[in-house]
């Protein structure tokens, strides 16, 4: 119950916080996105699984990540270099451009998908792991108002790397430590399974 209340309060606060953000222009974003294409591809569906798919990602979430790469709140040397010169409007435009694209399903280890589906949709009551779909939706579409990212179709290797980064503290830009609190309760097998299930969601 406390976790659900935290999610609701955070979602409300984030929606108020981001309501004043300038709207992005997808056409302008396309013109600015050439430097992104080498890793993320023009349609946002990267072909290398260490680079995240950006297609279909919510504009506000992309802006938050770019801002935090720029401020070094989220640490990544490559993305720091890419984001350093971006203005707030540039970030909004890039976010709008990639949000306009459609994510395609990724590749998954089929032996892990069943467990991943169970945890994603139902959590684990025995260990206090909440269902992932409570924030990210039953199809992995996320919740743009609350700031929860779209996950469906993301590379399993990338999702796994991010979940492990939250778990070991290498990534700590999750508001109120929400993701760190969740993955701390998950087993290694559950984390791998969820990453693989997300890869084939659409």
Instruction: Give yes or no: residues 124 and 91 share one domain.
Output: no
* Domain limit, last residue, from 73, 99, 125: 99
Q: What is the pLDDT of residues 4-15, one digit of tens each?
A: 444 444 454 444
- For residue 19, how many other CB atoms are within 10 A of its CB? 9
201: left (phi over 0), alpha (psi -120 to 50) or beta: beta
Instruction: Give yes or no: residues 64 and 126 share one domain.
Output: no
Instruction: Give yes or no: residues 151 and 88 share one domain.
Output: no
- CA–CA separation, 181 and 45 (whole Å): 29
Between the alpha carbon of residue 62 and those of residues 57, 69, 122, the distances in Å are 7, 11, 27
**Is 3's pLDDT higher than 90?**
no
Give the per-residue pLDDT at 22: 72
How many domains does the chain contain in total? Answer: 2
pLDDT band for position 71 (50/70/90)?
very high
| CATH number of 35's domain | 1.10.760.10
């Amino acid at each position: 119950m406390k976790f659900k209340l935290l999610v609701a309060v955070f979602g409300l606060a984030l929606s108020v916080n981001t309501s004043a953000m300038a709207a992005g222009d997808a056409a302008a974003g396309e013109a600015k996105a050439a430097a992104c294409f080498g890793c993320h591809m023009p349609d946002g569906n990267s072909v290398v699984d260490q680079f995240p798919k950006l297609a279909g990602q919510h504009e506000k979430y992309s802006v938050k990540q770019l801002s935090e790469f720029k401020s070094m709140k989220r640490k990544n040397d490559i993305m720091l270099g890419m984001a350093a010169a971006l203005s707030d409007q540039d970030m909004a435009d890039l976010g709008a451009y990639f949000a306009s694209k459609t994510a395609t399903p990724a590749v998954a280890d089929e032996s892990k998908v069943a467990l991943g589906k169970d945890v994603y949709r139902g959590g684990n009551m025995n260990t206090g792991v909440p269902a992932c779909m409570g924030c990210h939706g039953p199809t992995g579409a996320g919740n743009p108002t609350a700031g929860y990212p779209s996950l469906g179709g993301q590379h399993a290797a990338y999702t796994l790397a991010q979940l492990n980064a939250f778990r070991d503290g290498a990534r700590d830009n999750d508001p109120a430590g929400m993701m760190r609190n969740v993955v701390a309760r998950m087993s290694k097998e559950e984390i791998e399974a969820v990453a693989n299930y997300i890869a084939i969601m659409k």
